[in-house]
Amino acid sequence: MAPMIEDDLQGLRKGTVKSKTSVPDQQSSINITELQEIASKKLINYGTKFEKDIIVKTKGLYAYTASGHQVLDFTSGQMSTLLGHGHPEVVNVIADHAANLDHLFSGMLSPPVLSLANRLTSVLPQGLDRAFFLSTGGESNEAAIKMAKVYTGKFEIVGLGASWHGMTAQALSSQYHFGRKGQGPVMPGSLMLPPPNTYRSIFRNADGSYDWEKELDYGWDLIDRASCGSLAACIVECIQSSAGMHVLPSGYLRALKKHCEQRGMLLIVDEAQTGIGRCGDLFASVDFEGVVPDILTLSKTLGNGIPLSAVVTSDEIERVCSERDYCFYTTHVNDPLPAAVGDKVLEIVLRDNLVENSRARGKQLKDGLLKLQQRYGCIGDVRGRGLMCGVEIVGNREAKSPAVDLARKIADRMYALGLWANLSSHASFSGVFRIAPPIVITKEEIEQGLDIMEQALKETEGTLPLYS
Active site residues: 164, 237, 270, 273, 300, 434
d(CA 127, CA 383): 31
- State phi, psi for 130 to the nearest 5 degrees: -135, 150
Task: Identify the sign of the CA torsion 224, 229, 230, 232.
Answer: positive
195 CB-near residues (< 8 Å, 6+ apart): 160, 161, 162, 163, 176, 201, 240, 243, 246
104 CB-near residues (< 8 Å, 6+ apart): 110, 335, 336
Q: Annotate 168-235 with DSSP letters as a single string.
A: SHHHHHT--SS--TTSS---TTEEEEPP--TTT-S-B-TTS-B-HHHHHHHHHHHHHHH--S-EEEEE
The pairing of strands 231-237 and 156-160 is: parallel
* Max intra-chain CA distance, the chain: 70
Please choose, from the candidates 411, 352, 433, 438, the residue with its C-alpha nearest in 3D space to the C-alpha of residue 62. Answer: 438
How far does CA 457 lie from the centroid of its chain?
26
List own/partner pairs for 27-34 with CB under 8 A and 24 or more apart: 28/56, 28/66, 28/68, 30/5, 30/54, 30/56, 30/66, 31/4, 31/5, 32/66, 32/67, 34/2, 34/4, 34/5
Q: CB–CB of 94/337 below 8 Å?
A: yes
d(CA 443, CA 386): 14
Instruction: List residues bridging with 237 in a β-sheet.
Output: 270
d(CA 198, CA 57): 39
